[in-house]
Copies of this chain bind each other. A is one copy, B any other.
Amino acid sequence: MVHAFFDPAQAAAFNAAASKKDSQFEVRYFPLHGLGNITRMLLASSGAKFTNFNPEDWAALKPEAPFGVMPLLKETTSDGTVIQIAESDAIERYLSKKFGYYGDNIFEETLIDTFVSSDNDIMNKIFGFIMLKDAEQKAEAKEKALQGPVANWVKNHELHLQNNGANGHYVGNKHTLADFKTAQLISIIQGFSGEDLISEKLTPALIKVRATVDKIPSLAAWRATDEWKAFADRNKAALGF
């Protein structure tokens, strides 16, 4: 039997649902930020109604999941259509298209893809040392990543943001997926390196991206909830920040 998620028979209903902005969303993930963070940021920033479902027994639900992984996004439209999406990258792209965070033409889309890809590359390099168990190896790999690719990322992104007028955005004067991804990455890099690589003085344009994202009222409201704070506590316990 075809998993409902992949069933071509639902194509028309899916395409109709994708254009609706008044849906109700459920984010199924562990009770921490992790790979669910950008999805929740996109939903909160766009003012969408969403709830979080943190399965107590993920092992029992895992076999039903399209790839056996979370996060999973469930969308219920105002007319009752239900669709699901797996894989954080696919969820983020779907929501960005729906809520206008993916650019207005292929030039903007390609720029956004480029910055997002560059951000993902750095996230993977950071995961590379986070996952190491041996403390000495981890410290060495962390230093190497921070001084090499991370420092290179900081330099190049600061330059391109300066070229866009240091207005807190990568593309024009609007929020795109690239802004959200970078705002998250700045938090993570600062978590590991304090103000050594990214600071108001060293990289004002990068700092502006994060500040501009932080200022979105509906996102700030989500971050003021007890639920968000509980997720942050879990992240802090795992990563130390």
Which residues of A approach B to under 8 Å, CB–CB?
1-3, 6, 8, 10-11, 14-15, 18, 66-68, 85-90, 93-94, 97, 105-111, 113-114, 116-118, 120-121, 124, 127-128, 131, 152-153, 156, 159-160, 163-164, 172
* A87-B107 contact, Cβ under 8 Å, with A6-B164, A128-B131: no
Complex CA distance for A127 and B14, rounded to whole angstroms: 35
Q: Which chain B residues border A117 with CB–CB below 8 Å? A: 87-90
Complex CA distance for A93 and B115, rounded to whole angstroms: 13
B113 touches A90 (CB 8 A): yes
Contact check: which of B18, B110, B164 meets A94 at CB < 8 Å?
B110
Q: Which chain B residues border A89 with CB–CB below 8 Å? A: 113, 116-117, 120
Contact check: which of B3, B87, B93, B110 meets A163 at CB < 8 Å?
B3
Contact check: which of B67, B87, B118, B127 meets A67 at CB < 8 Å?
B118
A106 touches B97 (CB 8 A): yes
Smallest distance from the beta carbon of A160 to chain B beta carbons, Å? Answer: 5
Contact check: which of B3, B10, B114, B164 meets A107 at CB < 8 Å?
B10
B11 touches A108 (CB 8 A): yes
Residue of B nearest to A124 (CB): B124
Smallest distance from the beta carbon of A167 to chain B beta carbons, Å? Answer: 12
Most chain B C-beta atoms within 10 Å of own C-beta, residue among A110, A120, A159: A110
Contact check: which of B88, B97, B160 meets A6 at CB < 8 Å?
B160
Smallest distance from the beta carbon of A85 to chain B beta carbons, Å? Answer: 6
Contact check: which of B94, B120, B160 meets A3 at CB < 8 Å?
B160
A68 touches B128 (CB 8 A): no
6 A-B pairs with least C-beta separation: A90-B113, A89-B117, A87-B117, A14-B107, A90-B114, A2-B163
